[in-house]
Structure 1
């Protein structure tokens, strides 16, 4: 929620500016001195400051200099009836957004306020986009016409325009983030940020800082203030991927934020009121987590206002050929080459495969096909070389041994290779698919020379 701090030693001027802001639909807080303004700024989340230049005690320029020490980005507009060229130059050198002479035209000031707030929003969004390590998913549309997916589409259309929390469930690689983006795209928040955060990819001791942000010096290594994902998503949508992996103590803090709509950065007691829609996802059984004491029941009900379950690809057999053709055409377009057709036998082979990595595994396979395939049509033999399960069933060796240990080792080796392929060679993801620890997986990789 946007809030403006109005600073002026004259009560009538403070009230005039607050009435203007109220007419604009913007919350405001007032201070009659620079010293009081600093206290307000440190106690609340302020998006813009309107301050008089000449005031008893701390002047507007001195206040601006102090504010720049606390926040280099917050826009400040100076108002004065005693303007000179030198004070205007000094204000701009200190980073003032604008310099307005009294008496002023209210419409002109309203325009300046809107421009300042827009700049604040653009800076926040641009900083977030620069900091993002992972790019947004390559495909912004959902593909599939099976009955299971039609049910998903229907829920997205119904839930999207609301502000309700949604829990997305399903196996790894089924497209939960894509569905979350579709929900955001159908909501009134579509023009604000969609901020994804993978709770499983960030160490537990750093996840709190990623969520809520921190102040300089809050802990070792906190060399500057950092905006958390909740603040970045203000007015938009926060997507908490793999929420089932969040540490139990942090779940209580998340629950409080969802209940109150207020956060505090680590190292600060400033309460920041936010308007964020929270979507979450998991590939775990959260009910089992509640029974085991690893997931909070009250948080589960807060997140699970609506639930959308995404079926695994093996249960969407009629969608497999359409998805494969879609991905193949898209990757070929990126490579600047014509997309080959999928032979009927190829489609049958793909539909018979179990797809442990779901849509993500199919997407990775089609990317390899786009690079390696030649000719106008992709034959089944091409994919038998790339699908471990298909290659294993294509030709059983004659004179197969009945010895148990080598057979088990060979099966284990094949399963590890399949999991690595499904997880795009990500060891942590492959370990989750196999149901073992990452340390165990590394041991097996070394044992089998993989």
Structure 2
């Protein structure tokens, strides 16, 4: 699986040690930044995305324990490996107290550092996923209510496409559950243990949406004070859900098409190519064929996304699901607010069945 290049920050006041680790980490395929003390490292992290810190203990200005402490006080749970020639039980305890991923004594075997780096980066990836509200990713099938024949067909389609790498286009009116279907596809797929990343193309201006999708480097535009990864890199190995794709700027659609075709991207302000392995699921409440005629959707992008289509019916076309849905929400909110739910009166059911539900399920 292609992965975006990860960055390791080496912090040591000894130039020779920094150089040794730089060579080793570069050979492992990582991008390496260097700092001569803890304060310089903190300054670098203001302008660069860092995945791992390897730090010495004894340094001028700000030592390794001080660096660890400041990171944790800032709420930064970045993995940190401590390497030192002056190890004691006390310093080891302090390092672990502030959440060091590993504590390595010098002189060391290169293999031990290599293994520690790989462990720490794996751990850091898990932490990032937890920060991204992983419980939402696992919502999956639990969000569905409805046993109508048309919904059974939707469930079958989800199961069919989930096991593949195919791009999916979900069509349906607002409130029909397009994101719910996208999450279910992800949850039932081999990518379920990676991130599901969602972005609403209609809610973000075009100039901002581009940087949200592809990320940017420091100085790419006014206000870009540090490097930032985009949604594509965040979803590497997982699924990216592009809601309301027909509302995306027409020129930006061309850039999206190129990323889908080449499976790599360039952040704004950079000419460095970053490979990404992302499954894209898109959705729209418009008729895509009409959107193409209205020049709201590029035809070539449509064919790239529309490898598999899921068309969600409005609630008025699956009326047998109205009462089960109403009872589900009544029960859910009754428990949430501490009320007793005694059921639904027959005349209330008749009113619900007679209503056209223009907003569907929202």
Task: Name the TM tier (shorter chain).
Answer: 0.7 to 0.9
| Structure 1 residue 254 corresponds to structure 2 residue 256 | yes
Displacement after TM superposition at 1:76 (Å): 3.5
2:86 equivalent to 1:86: no
Q: Superposition pairs for residues 293-312 of structure 1, below 5 Å? A: 293-312=295-314
Q: Aligned-pair distance for 1:222?
A: 2.7
Structure 2 residue 284 is matched with structure 1 residue 282: yes
Q: CA deviation at 1:327?
A: 0.9
Alignment match of 2:109 (pick from 90, 104, 108): 104
Q: Is the 1:5–1:29 Cα contact (8 Å) retained in structure 2?
A: no
Structure 2 partner of 1:155: 157
Select 2:48's aligned residue among 55, 59, 71: 71
Offset, 1:346: 2.1
What TM-score does the superposition give when structure 2 sets the normalisation length?
A: 0.75
Give CA deviations for 1:204-232 in whole Å, capped at 9, x if unaligned: 22111111122233222333333211121
- Kindly indicate whether the alpha-carbon contact (under 8 Å) linking 2:257 and 2:304 is maintained by their aligned counterparts in 1: yes
What TM-score results when the alignment is normalised by the length of structure 1?
0.62
- Specify which structure has the higher proportion of helix: 1
Contact 2:57 2:64 in 1 (8 A): no
Note the alpha carbon deviations across 1:48-100, whole angstroms, 9 max, x for none: 75x9xxxxxxx88489849646525331436xxxxx96369845556653324
* Cα deviation 1:254-275 (Å, max 9, x = unaligned): 0011111112221222222111
Is the CA contact 2:239–2:281 (under 8 Å) kept in the aligned structure 1?
A: yes
Mapped partners of 2:263, 2:149: distance in 1: 37
Counterpart residue number, 1:348:
350
Quote the Cα distance in structure 2 between the aligned partners of 1:102 and 1:185. 46
Aligned partner of 2:294 among 287, 292, 306: 292
Q: Tell me the residue number matched to 2:269.
A: 267
What whole-Å deviation, never above 9, does each CA across 1:238-290 have from its counterpart, x for those lacking one?
11000011110000000011111112221222222111111110010111122
Match of 1:30 in 2: 27
- Say if 1:5 and 1:30, in contact at 8 Å, map to a contact too: no
Aligned ranges 1:237-248 → 2 under 5 Å:
237-248=239-250
Contact 1:48 1:75 in 2 (8 A): no
Provide closer, same or farther for how the CA distance between residues 228 and 140 of structure 1 changes in structure 2, counting only shifts above 3 A. farther
> 1:151 aligns to what SS in structure 2?
helix
Q: Which residue of 1 aligns with 2:233?
A: 231
Query: Aligned-residue CA RMSD in angstroms?
Result: 3.6
Unmatched segments (≥5 aa) in structure 2? 69-79, 84-103
Number of equivalent positions? 316
User: CA, structure 1 residues 310+123, in 2 after alignment: closer, same or farther (shift >3 Å)?
Assistant: same
CA pair 29-111 structure 1, distance change in 2 beyond 3 A = closer
Unpaired segments ≥5 residues, structure 1: 18-27, 32-45, 52-58, 79-83, 361-450
- Deviating more after overlay: 182-191 vs 111-120: 111-120
Q: Aligned runs of 1:26-425 on 2, under 5 Å?
A: 29-30=26-27, 49=32, 61=36, 65=41, 68=45, 70-71=47-48, 73-77=50-54, 86=58, 90=63, 97-99=81-83, 100=104, 101-104=106-109, 106=111, 108-109=112-113, 111-125=115-129, 128-129=132-133, 140-360=142-362
Which one has the largest radius of gyration?
1
The answer to whether the 8 A contact 2:7-2:49 is kept is: no
